[in-house]
Amino acid sequence: MCGAERNVELEPLPGDVAESPYYFVDLPSEDVARDICARALLVRGIIDVWGYGDDLESLKAALKACPSERKAKYLAADASFKVEVEDFGIKGGSKHLVQRVEALELPFTGKVDLKSPRDLFWSMHSDVDASTGLPMTPKRMFFGRVVGKSDRTIVNKYDLKKRLYLGPTSMDAEMSLLMANMVRARPGGVVLDPFCGTGSLLIGAAHYGALTMGLDIDIRVIKHGKSANVPKGKDSKFGETAKDGSTVNVWTNFQQYNLTPPVALIRGDLHALPTRTFGLEGTLQGIIADPPYGVRAGGRKSGGRKPLADDYKIPEELLDAHIPSTAPYPFGECLDDLMDLAARFLSIGGLICFFVPGESGDPDPERELPTHPALRLRWHCLETFNTIWGRRLVTYEKVAPFDIDAARKSRAEAEAARASSTQPDLIERMRALVYAPDRKRSRFDQRFKGFSPEEIKALQTQTRERKSATSSSSPLTTVP
């Protein structure tokens, strides 16, 4: 990160479950650890662990076994230090901080400095039996020196509640920053959002120094914005201008945060890109997107019921306020266009990160994800909304130059597979679930349609076992 990818291998602690917040990492230097903490919002912190155990006695034994040369500098008389409680899922630990530190029998001889210590230490405990709603993490006790802490103040800085220009689908600040990280947004690179709307994803990329570009089919959103002065109790509509002429728009959002404004905001359609056919390959460092897959209103593309003549032109007096006709944009077709966009415009090694709907508990989620001969799936992660559905964040890397013949063949195969399938796709299944008169029964029917009674029973058993072993995710605390 910060210009170069950090290939960090996370090693779980012996006996921990997959949902544990604790991991060992082997890093080349403390500077690298601090670089990671500066970017990785979901990492609570990285510590130089002096010892850990399942109880106080095993922790004390581990601390004694820690090499003296690692501890001497920080226990010396000229040191200043502070110890913080950083428990996971346990409340009230700070009340017993002094007793905790004394029980460890570490020979600190330096000065306690609560305001500006030279060294910071964490005392960390977790115990699933003493808390609720947490992953089944075994009882653990840690003590170590903090090397780096994540800075989550930036999430508050870009909080949507404080933003001047918003739309109904503006991405929340934390997710925008995470997606920018997934494509390694950085100075010198150009990041594109083909469904930019009010620019929330672009703001995340701009925070990390990337140049940004936006594309959106609705000219009102990217050109006209909204009225800046709205009477109390009323909502401003896209394209409205206040009587005094004041508006808020994508540009004012960037001004609000003192970020470099976008290179360009283009009224355009992913399905009919306003670019020349060739010559722009490899110009983008990253693409971030939240494709339109809403349950109630799907995506739209340019077009209409009435075909226009090839020489048709919009009258000059209508140009400024003209809103082109649109037609439904099937999600499968949208994904084909998005993958082609990435294959064409990303540089080799460039990344595209976007959301697709996801099914909770799906044993083989990758079968629903799009493919392309020039792109390789790197990561995917499901954010669950309930026990049935969620959204999946996927990231692909461009690994081969764009080949138009290979791209056309891949697209034709995807279209043929969708046309020949007798099963509803994810979007159709989600809509059926939402609109079903008997939602509880529909949820069961959609999930187990086509399975035999024996297979249904086995799947239900797997689901119960999974629920008993896992629960909601929690912030990640990384322990080197």
Q: What is the pLDDT of residues 410-444, one digit of tens each?
A: 999 988 988 888 777 777 777 666 665 554 444 55
**Confidence at residue 3, expressed as pLDDT on a 0 to 100 scale:** 36
Q: What is the DSSP string of 339-357?
A: HHHHHHHEEEEEEEEEEEE
In this predicted model, what pLDDT tens digit does every residue of 231-287 receive, in sequence order? 665 667 777 666 666 789 999 999 999 999 999 999 888 988 887 766 678 889 999
Q: Is the pLDDT of residue 115 over 60?
A: yes
Range of lowest pLDDT (161-175, 299-313, 391-405): 299-313
Helix or strand holding residue 299 (H, E): strand 299-302
Say which DSSP state 8 is in. P
For domain 159-416, the question of CATH label 3.40.50.150 is answered with yes
3-state SS, residue 189:
coil
Q: Is 126 helix (H, G, I), strand (E, B) or coil?
A: strand
pLDDT band at 465 (very low <50, low <70, confident <90, very high): low
Q: How far apart are CA 136 and CA 129, in angstroms?
A: 9
The CATH code for residues 11-151 is 3.30.2130
Percent of the chain residues topping a pLDDT of 70: 79
Query: How is residue 222 annotated by DSSP?
Result: I
pTM of the model: 0.81
- pLDDT value of position 2: 37
Range(s) for CATH 3.40.50.150 in the chain?
159-416
Using CA atoms, how far apart are residues 78 and 108, in angstroms rounded to an integer? 10
Cα separation, 362 vs 430, in Å, equals 14
* Cβ atoms 280, 345 nearer than 8 A: yes
With beta carbons less than 8 A apart as the criterion, state whether 89 and 128 touch: yes
**pLDDT band for position 470 (cuts 50, 70, 90):** very low
Provide mean pLDDT across the span 83-97. Answer: 87
Residue type, 242: A
How many residues are there in the chain? 480
DSSP string of 35-85? HHHHH-TTEEEEEEEEEEESSHHHHHHHHHHS-HHHHHHHHSTT-EEEEEE
Position with higher pLDDT, 281 vs 65: 65
How many C-beta neighbours within 10 Å does residue 456 have?
13
344 vs 246 pLDDT, higher one: 344
Whether residue 323 has pLDDT greater than 90? no
According to the model, what pLDDT value does residue 136 have?
A: 64
Distance (Å, whole) CA 125 – CA 54:
9
Please tell me the distance from the alpha carbon of residue 441 to that of residue 433, in angstroms, as a whole number.
9
Helix then strand then coil, % of the chain, to nearest 5: 35, 25, 45
Per-residue confidence (pLDDT) for residue 312, from 0 to 100: 73
User: Which residue's entry shows tokens 């996971």?
Assistant: 88
Quick one: tokens of 188?
Answer: 């010198």
Task: Show the tokens assigned to 129.
Answer: 């039996």
Which pair of structure tokens corresponds to residue 225? 């914005």
Q: Is 95 exposed, middle or buried (0-12, 13-18, 19+ CB in 10 A)?
A: exposed
Report the C-alpha gap between 286 and 194 in whole angstroms. 11
The β-bridge relationship of strands 80-85 and 389-398 is unpaired
pLDDT, position 16: 72
**Higher per-residue confidence, 454 vs 405:** 405
Does pLDDT of 82 surpass 80? yes
Least confident of 57-71, 190-204, 362-376: 362-376
Find the mean pLDDT for residues 122-132. 79
Give 293's DSSP letter. B
Mean of pLDDT values over 170-197: 95
β-sheet bridge partners, residue 382: 392
Mean pLDDT of the chain: 83
List strands edge to edge, sheet with 264-267: 264-267, 211-216, 190-193, 284-289, 346-359, 389-398, 375-384
Higher pLDDT, 478 or 264: 264
pLDDT at 445 over 80: no
Give mean pLDDT, residues 470-476.
36
476 falls in which pLDDT band (50, 70, 90)? Answer: very low
Residues of the chain with CATH 3.30.2130: 11-151
